[in-house]
Structure 1
Amino acid sequence: MFERDYLIRLLAQAGAVLGKAAGLKDLGKPQEALQTIDEFMSRELRLRSRLAMGLTDEDLLSMLSLTGSPNAESVAIVASCLKQEAELYASLGEEDESVPRFEKSLRLTLHALRNELEAEGWDARKRAEELIASLDPYETEADTKKALWGWHEEEGRFADAENLLFELGEAGALSAEEGQAFYTRLSGMEDAALDAGGLPRDEMEEGRRQWGALTKENEA
């Protein structure tokens, strides 16, 4: 109970800090806002922003675990801090700092959604959509595309998932077997579900054929 109460209080504190940072941004003090966020992360999570960005997603999630799996509150806080930092860096025109933060925040948020990590007062689905919109103008990393690929499939957006599948395949970031497994899963869907996902069965089968041709070409 004590641990749960602590995490809820920490989430509230994070909300206050992010609100303060937003106010500093509005006052034209983005660097002070960035410092406020970084100091909070260091003080409360023993995790500075640059360390969070330097860790793999798996190592970062491991750091945010208390009982063997990441807790929802810590994931929500770090994802929210990185999102706001990304927005601050974007306001400064520093895309090399903002885009990677948008991406890592999105991957953490999608991890929370796919693993049903729910933090009180944190609308992960809404935040994910905001992050996706923020990243729309940019070419994202393979890890981000993979996370989005799985998320689109789970959400029934099959056409979007297939588009990412081919982007990953052309970049050599996805194996032939992973793509084949995707089409095998879709082949077991009802026609109505495929239609709703923007990928009617005949188009899905054509996509499967093209995937096979692409992976054979890559192997040649």
Structure 2
Amino acid sequence: MFERDYLVRLITQAGLVLAKAMRLREQHKQQEAIDLIDEFLGRELRLRSRLAMGLSDEDLLSMLSVTGSPNAESVAVVAAMLQEEAELLSDLGQTELSVPRYAKALRLNLYILRNDMEFEGWDVRKRVEQLLAALSPYELGVDTKLALWQWHESNGQLAEAENLLYELQEDEAVSAEEGFTFYERLSAYDDSVLESGGLPRNEMEEGRRQWGALMKENA
């Protein structure tokens, strides 16, 4: 009961902080808004944005875990604060700081979706759309591409997942076996699922043949 009360309070307070940060942004007080976000993270989650950015995703999720499993509310709040901070830093022209924050916020939100951790009153899917739009002008890092690859498949966006598989292969971030396993999963889907995912069976089979030829060529 105490934990649930704390999480409800955390979400409520986060909403208030985000609203205040947006007002400060409208007043062109970006640094004040950034300080507000950092102070909130430190007070509520014993976390500063610089520490969040310095940790791997796995270590950050571990830090946000209770009894071995991250709670969705804490992950969502950290993602939202990083997203807002990224917007503020972008306003200040600090792209080298804003883009990594957008990317980590995206990966955290995708973690929530992949693990069916959505909760009422917090639109994670809308945030994913916003973050993808913010990142669209930039080349994504391998860790973000991997998270998106998994998400596109689980979300039924199969053509997008296939495109990312080949991008990851160029980045040397997936193995031949991972690609073959991907196509094995696709082959088990009904035709209707493949069609709705933008990858009809004949195109999927052609992609599998191309993957096999590419792996043979690179062997």
Is the TM value for this pair above 0.5? yes
Query: Is the 1:62–1:69 Cα contact (8 Å) retained in structure 2?
Result: yes
CA distance in 1 between counterparts of 2:120 and 2:56 reads: 26
2:87 counterpart of 1:87: yes
Measure the CA separation in 1 of the matches of 2:202 and 2:172. Answer: 26
The runs of 4+ residues in structure 1 deviating greater than 4 Å are none
Q: 1:94 to 1:216 in 2, by over 3 A?
A: farther
Q: What's the counterpart of residue 180 of structure 1?
A: 180
Q: TM-score, normalised by structure 1?
A: 0.97
Match of 1:36 in 2: 36
**TM-align CA RMSD:** 1.0
Contact kept, 8 Å, 1:194 with 1:201, in 2: the verdict is yes
Contact 1:102 1:131 in 2 (8 A): yes
Gaps of 5+ in 1: none
Is it true that 1:198 corresponds to 2:202 in the alignment?
A: no
- The corresponding residue for 2:155 is 155
* Structure 1 stretch displaced more, 70-79 or 114-123: 114-123
Q: In the alignment, what sits opposite 1:209? A: 209
| Code of the aligned partner of 1:46 | R
Which residue of structure 2 aligns with residue 100 of structure 1? 100
**Deviations 1:26-81, CA, capped at 9 Å, x for gaps:** 00011111111001101111100010001010000000011210001101110000
Structure 2: where are the runs of 5+ without partners? none
Q: Deviations over 1:91-119 (max 9, x none)?
A: 11211111111110000001001111123
Q: Give me the identity figure in percent.
A: 66
CA distance in 2, matches of 1:80, 1:216: 44
Asked if the contact 1:156–1:193 (Cα under 8 Å) also holds between the matched residues in 2, the reply is yes
Distance 1:122 1:170 in 2: 36
Q: How many residues in Structure 1 have an aligned counterpart in Structure 2?
A: 219
Letter in 1 for 2:72: A
Aligned residue in 1 for 2:123: 123
Superposed displacement of residue 214, structure 1: 2.4
